[in-house]
Amino acid sequence: MSVALRRFGVRLLAGLAVLALFTATAQAQPRRVPFYGPRFPDPRTTSPYFSPPINPNPYIAPALTLGQAAYNTVTVGRALGDALSTIPPYALGFPSTVPPAAYATAPGLPGYGGAPVYPGASPYGASLTADPYGSLGGYSLSTTGGGAGYANPYGGGYGGIYTPAQGELYGQAALTSAQADFYSKIMQAKLTREEVYRSKIQTARERMKWELEYEANRAGMQEYREKQLALDLRIARGDAPVSSVVSGRALNDLLKAINAPGRSLNRGPTIPLEEDLLKNITVSGPTSAGNVGLLKGDILSWPLPLKDDRFKEPRERLGDNLAVAKSRLKDPGGKLERGLLKALEDDLATLNGQLVAAAEDLSPSAYIDSRQYLNKVREAVRALNDPRVANYFNNTWTARGKNVAELAEHMRTSGLRFAPAGPHEESAYAALYQALRAFEAGLQTASR
Higher pLDDT residue, 9 or 34? 9
Answer with the one of 337, 358, 387 that is the final residue of a domain.
Answer: 387
Helix axes 249-258, 221-237, angle to 10 degrees: 100
Tell me the residue ranges of DSSP E strands in 255-369.
Answer: 283-284
Tens of pLDDT, residue by residue over 114-165, are 444 444 444 444 343 344 444 444 433 333 333 333 334 444 444 444 566 7
Do 10 and 148 lie in a common domain? yes
User: What average pLDDT does range 192-211 have in this prediction?
Assistant: 93
64 DSSP 8-state letter: E
Please state, as a whole number, how many other Cβ atoms lie within 10 Å of the Cβ of residue 263. Answer: 17
- Angle of CA points 414, 420, 423, to nearest 5°: 125
How many alpha carbons fall within 13 Å on the CB side of residue 120?
6
Determine the average pLDDT of the residues in 345-358: 91
Answer whether residue 347 shows pLDDT above 70: yes
Residues 347 and 436 in one domain: no
List Cβ neighbours of 392 (8 Å cut-off, separation of 6 or more).
284, 292, 295, 329, 383
pLDDT per residue as tens digits for the range 377-407: 888 888 888 888 877 777 778 888 999 999 9
Q: CA 15 to CA 162: how far, in whole Å? A: 13
d(CA 240, CA 356): 34
Which range of residues forms the domain containing residue 32?
2-165
- 401 and 380 fall within a common domain: no
pLDDT digits 0-9 by tens, 22-81: 555 545 444 454 444 444 444 444 444 444 556 667 777 777 787 787 777 777 777 766
Q: Are residues 434 and 358 in the same domain?
A: no
Task: Determine contact, residues 119/102, Cβ cutoff 8 Å.
Answer: yes
Which secondary structure element, helix H or strand E, spans residue 322, and what is its range? helix 312-330
Final residue before a domain boundary, out of 122, 148, 165: 165
CB contact set of 274 (below 8 Å; sequence gap of 6+): none
Are residue 15 and residue 73 in the same domain, yes or no? yes
* Pick from 298, 289, 282, 286: nearest CA to 387: 289
Judge whether 229 lies within some domain. no
Beta strand 116-117 pairing with 104-105: antiparallel
Is 207 contained in some domain?
A: no
DSSP assignment string, 405-439: HHHHHHHHHHT-EEPPP-TT-HHHHHHHHHHHHHH
Size of the chain in residues: 448
Beta-bridge mates of residue 3: none
**Hey, how many other C-beta atoms are within 10 angstroms of the C-beta on 54?**
15
SS3 152: coil
Q: Which of 350, 382, 392, 356 is nearest to 371 (CA)?
A: 356
Q: Does residue 259 sit within a domain?
A: yes
Whether residue 402 sits in one domain with residue 261: yes
Q: In this structure, how many other beta carbons lie within 10 angstroms of the beta carbon of residue 377?
A: 23
More confident residue, 218 or 56: 218
Last residue of a domain, one of 165, 184, 213: 165
Domain presence at residue 221? no
State the total domains in the chain: 3
259 with 116, same domain: the answer is no
Alpha carbons 398 and 392: distance in angstroms, whole number: 7
More confident residue, 6 or 175: 175
Burial 171-190 (b: 16+ CB within 10 A, else e): beebbeebbeebeeeeeeee
Tell me how far apart the terminal alpha carbons of the chain are, to the nearest angstrom.
128
77: amino acid identity, one letter:
G
Task: With a cut of 90, say whether residue 207 has pLDDT above it.
Answer: yes
Kindly report the backbone phi and psi dihedral angles of residue 403, in degrees, each rounded to the nearest multiple of 5, phi listed first: -145, 180
Asked if 269 contacts 383 with a C-beta cutoff of 8 angstroms, the reply is no
Residue 71 identity (one-letter amino acid) = Y
Residue 191 lies in a domain: no
Question: Is 49 part of a structural domain of the chain?
Answer: yes
User: pLDDT band at 435, cuts 50/70/90?
Assistant: very high
pLDDT band at residue 16, thresholds of 50, 70 and 90? low
Indicate whether 443 belongs to any domain: yes
Across all residues in the chain, what is the average pLDDT?
A: 74
Residue 93 pLDDT class (50, 70, 90 cuts): low
323 lies in the same domain as 410: no
247 shares a domain with 117: no
* DSSP 8-state symbol, 65: E
Q: Do 28 and 52 belong together in one domain?
A: yes
- CB distance 125 to 93 below 8 Å: yes
Does this model's pTM top 0.75? no
Q: Report how far residue 423's alpha carbon sits from residue 372's, in angstroms, rounded to the nearest whole number.
A: 11
Do 33 and 122 lie in one domain? The reply is yes
Residues 343 and 426 in one domain: no
Helix extents (H) in 162-282:
164-217, 221-237, 242-246, 249-258, 275-279
Are 240 and 418 within 8 A, CB to CB? no
433 in a domain, yes or no? yes
Could you give the 3-state DSSP secondary structure of residue 155? coil
